[in-house]
Amino acid sequence: MTAMLRAAGVSLSFGDTPALRGADVAVDEGEIVAVMGPSGSGKSTLLHCLAGILVPDSGEIHVDGHRIDTLGEAARSALRRERFGFVFQFGQLVPELTAAENIALPLLLSGVRRAPALSRAEGWLSRLGLDGLGGRRSGELSGGQAQRVALARALAGSPRVVFADEPTGSLDSLAGEQVMDLLVGAAREQGTTVVVVTHDARVAAYADREIMVRDGRVTTPVGTS
Amino acid sequence: MVLRMSVPLTLLGLLEREPSHGYDLKRDYDTYFGRGKSLPFGQVYSTLARLARDGKVVMDEVAAGAGPDRKRYVITDAGATEVNTWLTEPVPAEPHLQSVLFAKVVLALMLDRPAEEYLDTQRRAHLARMRELTEIKRTGGLVDGLLADHGLFHLEADLRWIDTTAARLDALREQVRS
């Protein structure tokens, strides 16, 4: 089976500080993988390399069998927009837009017209238990609600892969579990591959397996399962 | 204190480090694993007798010791195999395992074994159990979910200890091997 995501011998330094030192990873299509490790171990850097946000100094990144680390910024940006969804620790919603508009944003950027984009956004609001909140701006939402909006925004474009970097880090344990439950449920329904960076074992327990990163190296078996 | 079930294995581990008299074994056990509750001499010798009966240790030549204890115990190949198996295999992931894990880590460091790998193996076993409990939470009712939560919180505490210990292995190695 071809892995949906594969990193081979990936190294990356920030100045003189190595963040990744020959990291190897493979993630199957539809698999939900947690990336764990101590602070500063390189787990977020690994996620950013897999997602084409950062380009490694050496090594290769493949997405669905295609090498992406040799692509230019414009091509990687298009890849991220069209095939990936992102959830970060602090939702990073656009404060001037309503919840529904935030969810519709990636659809609008991909060329979907406003009315159908907002209609699909409303569907996601309902699916994630946010009925009636579509008109609120991010400042009018609780942390858990805002993170569910961020989740809907990541999933609305039916991405092949969702990358989540500490998606529950700013939430209390119950709200965090709701977000993970929704993320895993939606990903399984859609067959979406998920890579979630977390230091929280309870979050990692929602994944199919975990990858440990220590000192810039992946210390668990490479996969794929 | 190390759980009773691991006392024979802990003594075997100490013997793998070097052949010892019963008195020395008790002293080292109390130093590293007793934590305020020392191992009775009677238990030391009855455990050693059982280990000898099972072919895990043999008695060395009678050597002149500092005290009345003149029998020196030596681990056999069968005993060393048992120690290796115990150290290598993860403990079933259940709450309240810290003392067993602690004994394994300290002995692994004493014996120059890969303690970090053992901790990684244990972490995987814990996470696998946490995945099972999380699935129960996701698919079961409220009662099942709350019971699963109880297990999850305890396993999480173990995992935090595993992570903290992994981060301090170098310092602990220096201490137990000094």
Domain boundaries, chain A: 5-218
Which of A38, A181, A205 has its CB closest to that of B131?
A: A205
Spatial separation of the C-alpha atoms in residues B22 and B26, rounded to whole Å: 6
Mutate which of B123, B134, B150 to test chain A, going by most A C-beta atoms within 10 A? Answer: B134
Same domain, B105 and B166: yes
Q: What's the confidence (pLDDT) of residue A170?
A: 78
Alpha carbon A27 to chain centroid distance? Answer: 13
Spatial separation of the C-alpha atoms in residues A139 and A99, rounded to whole Å: 10
Q: Domain span at residue B170?
A: 92-178
For residue B13, give the CATH number of its domain.
1.10.10.10
Same domain, B102 and B62: no
Spatial separation of the C-alpha atoms in residues B1 and B33, rounded to whole Å: 6
Q: What's the confidence (pLDDT) of residue A225?
A: 44
Same domain, B55 and B136: no
pLDDT surpasses 70 at B67: no
Classified by CATH at the fold level, domain A5-218 comes out as Rossmann fold (3.40.50)
In chain B, which ranges are continuous DSSP H helix? 7-17, 22-29, 41-53, 77-88, 98-110, 115-139, 142-167, 169-176
Alpha carbon A19 to chain centroid distance? Answer: 20
pLDDT surpasses 50 at B24: yes
Which of the listed residues B88, B103, B138 is the one where a domain comes to its end?
B88
Same domain, B80 and B96: no
Report whether A89 contacts A167 (CB < 8 A). Answer: yes
Q: What's the confidence (pLDDT) of residue B4?
A: 45
Same domain, B107 and B178: yes
Query: What average pLDDT does this structure show over B12-39?
Result: 88
Same domain, B81 and B126: no
- Give the A:B interface size as CB pairs under 8 Å: 37
Which of the listed residues B20, B55, B88 is the one where a domain comes to its end?
B88
Same domain, B110 and B66: no
If one counts the domains in chain B, the total is 2
- Cβ-defined contact of B130 to A204 (cutoff 8 Å): yes
- Give the residue on B whose Cα is nearest the Cα of A41: B167
Same domain, B18 and B67: yes
Number of residues that make up chain A = 225
Count the Cβ atoms, other than its own, within 10 Å of residue A32: 22
Same domain, B40 and B62: yes
Tell which B residues from 107 to 126 touch A, by Cβ distance under 8 Å. Answer: 120, 123-124, 126
Same domain, B43 and B66: yes
Measured between beta carbons, the chain A residues lying within 8 angstroms of B160 are 201
A153-183: b (≥16 Cβ within 10 Å) or e: bbbbbebbbbbbbbbbbbbeeebbbbbbebb
Whole-prediction pTM: 0.79
Q: What's the confidence (pLDDT) of residue B6?
A: 82
Same domain, B57 and B115: no
Which of the listed residues B58, B88, B118 is the one where a domain comes to its end?
B88
Which of A201, A206, A220 has its CB closest to that of B159?
A: A201
Spatial separation of the C-alpha atoms in residues A90 and A95, rounded to whole Å: 12
Q: What's the confidence (pLDDT) of residue B96?
A: 63
Residue-by-residue pLDDT tens, chain A, 225 positions = 679 999 999 999 999 999 999 999 999 999 999 999 988 899 999 999 999 999 999 999 999 999 999 999 999 999 998 899 999 887 689 999 999 999 999 899 888 999 999 999 999 898 888 888 999 998 899 888 898 999 999 999 889 999 999 988 878 888 888 889 989 988 898 899 999 999 899 999 999 999 999 899 998 765 544
- Give the residue on A whose Cα is nearest the Cα of B159: A201
ipTM of the complex: 0.79
**Which position has the higher pLDDT, B113 or B69?**
B113
Spatial separation of the C-alpha atoms in residues B96 and B99, rounded to whole Å: 8
